[in-house]
């Protein structure tokens, strides 16, 4: 394990235990068993460490989604699986940050800046699925960029109950009907 990875592992434990606001660079240094100077040689601030911890966690989810996008399965099934993998991954991340929930609500600007970076990547992944569906004749979407943007925005609505800690929220139950409606529309066929 590299020094940087060790710092991030220690920071993750500190943020999980104390939350963002109460954590200090000294706490992170102690958890990582590194000197504060070493921590500062890798990161300039607690916010930068926090961003790196989140980026590390999100990268695992992104890699799983990218692997799915490259898989040899029909685009319509790929989009369905994408939504399930994505939401399960978000749920795991949110559960991990349970200790940070109140801090994150107070730091939504920081979190939203991190999301903007990830949203662009996610939009491109979904656009790739939609483009493939158009090429294979599975979908008929005139503007895949616009639809990808809309899907990413819509999926954020699924995240809020998870983030707010609603243990009764079952996103898996809602995804398939949403995808079915997306594919078939809501208008009665004549």
pLDDT in tens, 40-72: 999 999 989 988 988 888 888 899 999 999 999
Residues 54, 124: one domain? yes
What is the value of pTM for the model shown? 0.79
Co-location of 40 and 57 in the same domain: no
The pLDDT, as a whole number, for residue 97 is 59
Residues 76 and 157 in one domain: yes
Does the structure show a pLDDT above 70 at 100? Answer: no
**pLDDT tens by residue, 5-27:** 999 999 989 988 887 888 899 99
Q: Is 82 exposed, middle or buried (0-12, 13-18, 19+ CB in 10 A)?
A: buried
65 and 105 fall within a common domain: yes
For the segment 108-126, the average pLDDT, to the nearest whole number, is 80
Q: Give the residue numbers spanning the domain of 37.
A: 1-44
Domain assignment of residue 190, yes or no: no
Kindly state whether residues 50 and 40 are assigned to the same domain. no
* CATH number, position 180: 1.10.357.10
Q: Pick the residue with more confidence: 104 or 95?
A: 104
Q: What angle do CA 32, 99, 116 make, to 5 degrees?
A: 85
């Amino acid at each position: 394990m590299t020094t940087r990875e060790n710092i991030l592992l220690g920071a993750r434990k500190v943020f999980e235990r104390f939350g963002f606001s109460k954590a200090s660079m000294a706490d992170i240094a102690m958890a990582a068993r590194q000197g504060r100077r070493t921590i500062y040689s890798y990161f300039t601030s607690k916010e930068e460490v926090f961003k790196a911890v989140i980026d590390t966690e999100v990268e695992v989810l992104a890699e799983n989604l990218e692997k799915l996008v490259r898989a040899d399965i029909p685009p319509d099934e790929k989009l369905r699986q994408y939504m399930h993998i994505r939401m399960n991954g978000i749920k795991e991340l949110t559960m991990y940050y349970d200790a940070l929930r109140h801090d994150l609500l107070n730091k939504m600007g920081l979190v939203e800046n991190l999301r903007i970076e990830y949203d662009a990547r996610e939009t491109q992944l979904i656009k790739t699925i939609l483009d493939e569906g158009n090429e294979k004749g599975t979908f008929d979407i005139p503007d895949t960029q616009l639809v990808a943007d809309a899907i990413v925005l819509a999926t954020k609505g699924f995240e809020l109950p998870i983030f707010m800690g609603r243990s009764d929220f079952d996103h898996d139950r809602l995804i398939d009907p949403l995808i079915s409606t997306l594919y078939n529309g809501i208008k009665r066929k004549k």
